Amino acid sequence: MTTFTTEDGTQIYYKDWGTGQPIVFHHGWPLSADDWDAQMLFFLAKGYRVVAHDRRGHGRSTQTAHGNEMDTYAADVAALVAHLQLKDTIHVGHSTGGGEVARYVARYGAGHVAKAVLIGAVPPIMVQSASNPGGLPLDVFDGFRAALVANRAQFYREVPTPFYGYNRDGAEVSEGIKLNWWRQGMMGGAKAHYDCIKAFSETDFTEDLKSIEVPVLLMQGDDDQIVPFADSAQLGINLLKHGTLKVYSGYPHGMCTTHPDVINADLLAFIEA
């Protein structure tokens, strides 16, 4: 496997295919770089260099008991970019990976990043509070933690149904996609996944979004059952200096997998604009 080692001794697995302008893909919780297969193959064929890593504690990377929060996730990305000597890079993040992109670009992106894309992403912040009344109550995320502790394998069998909108009338259910979600989730570490729930739900990315100088595309389905649209992209677009919002009617959270032809074409158009 292709890995590099961070300063704290964590081994980060990554894929690095092709040449040309690099596109770095950041996966959602609790998945891995494999969740980007449809995008990586598409952009590789278009002449881009495609890179995707397994976040610490996820997939084939070290099952860390520490550093499972956004500051360290972003620092790991910075280390990966330095390791691969990437320049003029486009960063594409889905869900939790969108938060990772926002934090990385805000803190480390100057001079390295050309554009960014956040897809069904968690910024500005998911959890409900006095300043974010439209967020999800904390007990929703406490429920995630309880389900993970009680029976992670069963919990991960259940999440793909709303994730891909398979509970909607007329949905074409793919058992293979559901099983692949479960496979990726179970590859990672329970402690890291438990910690990451706090990272994706309680991290406030408001100032990150405000500080980003490069063009950012926000993409989200209006039937996203995991990251509610009204409290994510609809708010985030107002915080960006150079933001574009594209909303997909009826699309689910996992639309990169359920509708790759549409998403890939729109990503390409933004990147090449």
Active site residues: 95, 224, 253
Q: Is the peptide bond between 22 and the residue preceding it cis, with omega within 30 degrees of 0?
A: no
Amino acid at 150: A
What is the strand order of the sheet 22-26 is part of?
Answer: 3-5, 11-17, 49-53, 22-26, 89-94, 113-119, 216-221, 243-248
The alpha carbon of 113 is separated from its chain's Cα centroid by a whole number of angstroms, namely: 17
DSSP state letters, 205-233: -HHHHHH--S-EEEEEETT-SSS-GGGTH
Residues 6+ apart with CB under 8 A from 269: none
Residue with tokens 């992109």: 101
Phi, psi of 29, deg, nearest 5: -80, 140
d(Cα 114, Cα 110) in Å, to the nearest integer? 9
Residues 6+ apart with CB under 8 A from 247: 220, 221, 222, 229, 233
d(Cα 250, Cα 221) in Å, to the nearest integer? 6
**CA angle (10 as vertex; 143, 208 as ends), nearest 5:** 60
